[in-house]
Amino acid sequence: MLTHFSAVLLFSLFVSIVFGITQRSEPRMMVRFGAYCFVLFVGITIVASWAMWAIKH
């Protein structure tokens, strides 16, 4: 069974691959944009998670 965090990682990975391929024209830029999206997805999720923890406590 997936944990919440592994679900986030897989979601971010697959969405970033599709975003990279469809939103850029050159293969090099596709990889860069995909990696950028992945980092943003995961990073924002972690920040939002800690923010919710801080609000609760």
Partner 1 sequence: MATEAQQIAQRVPGEKSSKPTLALIAGWLIPGAGHLVVGKYYRAALLFISILGMYLIGLGLQGKIYTPNTGDVLDILGFIGQLGLGVFYLIARIFGLGASSVTITLGDYGTKFLVVGGLLNIIAAVDAHSLANGRKQS
Q: How many residues does the chain have?
A: 57
Rounded-to-integer distance, Cα 23 and Cα 3, Å:
30
Site for partner 1 in 2-21 (CB under 8 A): 2, 4, 7, 10-11, 13-15, 17-18, 21
Token code pair at residue 11: 């979601």
Q: Does 29 bind partner 1 (CB under 8 A)?
A: no
Enter the DSSP assignment of 57.
-
Token code pair at residue 32: 């860069």
Among residues 26, 28, 56, 57, the one that binds partner 1 under rule CB under 8 A? 26
Contact positions vs partner 1 (CB under 8 A): 1-2, 4, 7, 10-11, 13-15, 17-18, 21-22, 25-26
